[in-house]
Chain A
Amino acid sequence: MKNWEKIRCSPKLKKIQILRSKIGDLIRDFFKKGGFLEIQTPTLVKCAGQEPYLSPMEVHFRDEKNKKYKGFLITSPEYSLKKLLVAGFDKIFELAKVFRSNESFGGIHSPEFTMLEWYRANSDYQQIMKDVEQLVYFLNKKINCSNYLNYQGKKINLTPPWPRLSVKEAFLKYAGINLDKAKNLKSFKSQIKNKMYLMDDWNDIFYSIFLNEIEPRLPENRPIIIYDYPLPQASLAKRKNKNSFHVERFEVYITGLELANAFSELTDAKEQLERLKQEQILRKKMKKNYIPIDKDFIYALELGMPPSGGIALGLERLQMLLLGIKDINDLLIFPVQQLFTEPR
């Protein structure tokens, strides 16, 4: 049965959709009360994100004179939202539909999902940590009337502040690896005892260790903020200081589920352009589709972006946590799995 049919004969499933809508309303209340402006930026863009490990979906279309254009569906609205920080908006948020190819059709992934992003000008990732704690705590209080979240048999205390663990501490504590002595592939590999992790890419080793050694050992009764990522994992984050190996980036995990990723935003146009060029080279090496660099974004940084903090949070994952749902295909009304693989 398709999900919409199941809803037809189940008030319980209908209730889940009503609560999803309520969560959307509460998110808007939360940000509007905090003085944030809701913005809508385009889903169809000329230059998608350059991240080497993501696969943006290509779109081909024509204008009224039949001239061909090629664009992409966004994997995140971040470039547009940062241009708006430069334009002079200082507290903004968006609930954006985002698209990623080469993702699993279900479980904790879907090729189409919703990203909640918010940005604060004249701020940094420390303030964003506080925002995300307050937001999740507030939503759970309204939806489940408790300081605790019950998810898949686990009881999680959401009361802020949440425990924080730096990436450096996590690697040292759970995997016995000193990341300060793992700045390149060779020095990283020399510290590895388990053959399973001997790969030829710094980031692959990083995540193999993270997913096998660290994530399964993170406390399950509290959310956790993992912060200060090493430079190869910098993405669009600002360095801690000029020559630091660590950047101001954090991730939020709740019972092992990666919920959100945040930065003190990189505002240096030159360094940003250099990183995008490096990522473009890496994409070519990995045989990923070519994506032009968004020069308009670089130009915005040249004009001057205020020091800012920003975050991307997977809305469906948050809804799954709040509503006790394990598989995203049981949350969405029209999951890609049913739209594209199940016949009628």
Chain B
Amino acid sequence: MDKTFRNKLEGYTAEPPSHVWDNIQGHLAAQRKKRRLAYARWIAAAAVIILAFMAGWYFNEKSEKVIPEAVENQIPAPQKTTPQPENKMAQQENKQNNVNEGAGKTGNPALAAKKITSTLTEETVLVAAVDNLDVTIPENENSENAGTGSVQFENFSMNFLNSRKASFSVNLSEETLKQEQVTTVDQLSDAEKGLIAENAKILSEPSKKEGNWKMGLTVSPGYASQVTSHTQNYAQNMTYSGTEGIKNVSGGISVQYKTGKKWSIESGIYYAQNDQRSSNAPDVNYSSLVSGPAFDSEKSYFNTAVNMVDGQMAMNSTAGVIEFSGTPRGTEVATGVEDLYGGSNTLLTNSEFSQVFDFIEIPLYVRYNILDAKIGVQIMGGLNAGIIAGNNVFMENRFGTQNVGKTQDISTLNISGTVGFGLNYDISRRISMAVEPRLNYYLNSINQNPDVMFRPYRIGVYTGLYYQF
């Protein structure tokens, strides 16, 4: 019996209906399109990331180049006045203040070494940032690849389900035709065949399931400020602390992965800036300077004690000790032996100082969908690794804005917490827009100096365009 079946059916052939070939072509064309789209997507993502970093690097470089030449000529007089007791006074003050820098001209090798390492850290910040890039991006790629793999697999099964649906409807019409006129499928008119193929194509098209991945670009105008506190010793010789925050813009790339119906996790890379402004203390020790040469009593001067180490100045400020790379334009350094405030040198200027920190933040957020509709509501929260990519001190006076140095003891890697509440709107099936107020607050003091507690925070309204795939 088996043999009869085998013999009769082995060579059995039947001409399949022509719409089968049309459907196959439709499927293959859709696959090709999808593949092209996937390439384009990756290229676009890579381009955006590269662009973001090039921009960050460019701006960083640019701001470093503005370092002005030291204007030693402008301040000839005060340094001559009392060179001898300077060392003693400096050492005394150093003990008292417990400031890391400034051992006077004792030539202590340990301190000199310390200075070298602190200048090195700026470079290592950049290197660390770049290293971090190298590590994180391939990771993302891998996990996303794996993700799209599974998505494709799901797509395939969905395709298959839908194509079943498609040909089911197609065949319904065929069967009714058969019943009515007992004709074979081949006798369908060309127009009908075209329609059938078209229908099948359309039906198989929306089978692409909404992806679990979401990628977006966000920008946020924001308000950045900080919570600070200082030891009394430090504060005694500190610039006048600025209390106002700064308005600035931050932004970045966000990558989200949906883990469940309501939950998703998010990472990405963001750029943010925190900027602390302070002026020198209003003329507290004005009187001690009256006798100083080249002092124009008409001018309203501000001053803060500075420490001089091998001709380099260090000044206590809100976010930490400012290490000057030279003597900025529009300043004068006064040295007074009988200075009541313990500072051997005083920086006279009516400039405003800003200590600017550029952060590259890599977040890990959890999102929860409160309302999943065309206009959805989400809450989010999580942690950021904030890498300091830029540490600069600017001084603003009648000579313009100068980059005068950097802040000491700033840690390269800091942790901040973020909470937010967002609204998102689906523009189309894949593209959505989100507006999300967020609060980002540094959990540690970004300055390692025990005398300084400086924790930046930022409130921003993150507006982003997202693409789901």
Bind each other: no
